[in-house]
Amino acid sequence: MKESVIIEQIRRRLGIESLNDMQTTMAAKANASNVVLLSPTGSGKTIAYLLPLLKNIKASTGRVQAVVIAPSRELAVQISKVAQAIAVGLKVTCCYGGHNVIDEENSLSVVPDILVGTPGRLLDHAKRGNVYLQPVRILVLDEFDKSLELGFHEEMRKLIKRMPNISRQILTSATRISECPDFINLRDAETLCFLSESTVESRINVLRVESDMRDKLETLRTLLYNIEPGKTIIFANHRESALRIFDYLKTLHLPVGLYHGGLDQIDREKAVMMLNNGTFSIMVTTDLGSRGLDISDVKHIVHYHLPQTEETYTHRNGRTARVDNTGSVYAITGPDERVPDFISFDDNLKLDVEAKCRIKKVNETLFFSAGKKEKISKGDILGFILTKSGIEASAVGRIDVADHYALVAVDASVAKSVLAAISREKIKNQKVKISIARQ
């Protein structure tokens, strides 16, 4: 693809008027065999590596030309959406665990030009003969350090062995790399480091919040009542703790979602979508939520539990202050709790224990039990709601359409009346179950 065409699609489909320095530099590396890109979370690295990738892609050949491997389902989906938006005339297919295998097999029946996925699912399709990887020329390992950290060594080794004709590799990471495994041949690789040019640390304010008790729930409540309302992510070190915090905040009637690896894929997807569409303003998560999620405009990061490593701390904080924005980070410390050396505070935050809750629920989300595979589009849903309920278009917010379901944000004040008006109606002559989405 021509660079001018790619950039025009980035502008028109993604609303990005100009490339940043990192993206411009990567665009100029189309002829480089191996590139290691070190870049902060939220700096636009997906577009950065797609630029040289797409410049080297030929018109559809009936063979897979490029593979992008990501460590999480959410990151794989995010990458594929960006690629689909700008890869004009090319087929992009995404494969990941927790997704319907039959749907993926059907998608792979038309051979993609670009294949995006998680290591385990891609290897599974290769073993089943659903995809032939030998012709692949371009390989991207996005957040490959996380893939290795999560124990995908063998899956990645076996996958790369199935791609003997790779001529270009791009590896990305938000942290410096100590060493690469032997199955990744990075001979003569060029390293592009943008970690010092746009560090999150320079745009965040880190505050210590002292808790009088080891059980920090009451301190967390007071903190949430003290800070300016806005999108907030709370990190805990264990799933059980995340669930406990989530249940507690629900008893306070706060708009809160839950995200961790023990949830079904649909519940994880719903949590992120409902945070982005304004139904939730708070999400409680484990460190799984520190990378690979497409969440915009996060104002506050709360370390309910202190992170165990500097890398974890960096990635948690990277959820806020993305691109050129600023953010606040709060670390709740219990009595005599040791603070790791890699955490330094800008100040101590003194809480007003009499503060009243200012967090309001803005939206509710309607769940439709049909999506892309049932030929339901955003336009279909919007027209259906406006026609059947009679509400103004301004009362309908973000619409997310997945393969077999859709989520629609509506003003919380009219959600019940809208549901009553549309729940028994057919959309595109289909009877679809519609309900208020919950977690």
* Residues 67 and 138 sit within 8 Å (Cβ to Cβ): yes
For 383-412, how does the pLDDT look when each residue is reduced to its tens digit (9 = 90+)? 999 999 999 999 999 999 999 999 999 999
The residue behind tokens 């808790």 is 211
Question: How many other CB atoms are found less than 10 A from the CB of residue 255?
Answer: 21
Say how far apart CA 112 and CA 98 lie, in whole Å. 20
Cβ 439 vs Cβ 242: under 8 Å: no
The number of angstroms, rounded, from the C-alpha of 41 to the middle of its chain's C-alpha atoms is 11
pLDDT level of residue 200 (50, 70, 90 thresholds): low
Token pair for 50: 């797609």
Average pLDDT over residues 104-123: 96
Written as six digits, the tokens of 216 are 């920090």
Residue type, 355: A
Mean pLDDT over 233-261 rounds to: 97
Spatial separation of the C-alpha atoms in residues 21 and 19, rounded to whole Å: 7
Measured in whole angstroms, how far is the alpha carbon of residue 407 from the centre of its chain? 17
pLDDT band at residue 174 under the 50/70/90 scheme:
confident
Provide mean pLDDT across the span 354-370: 97
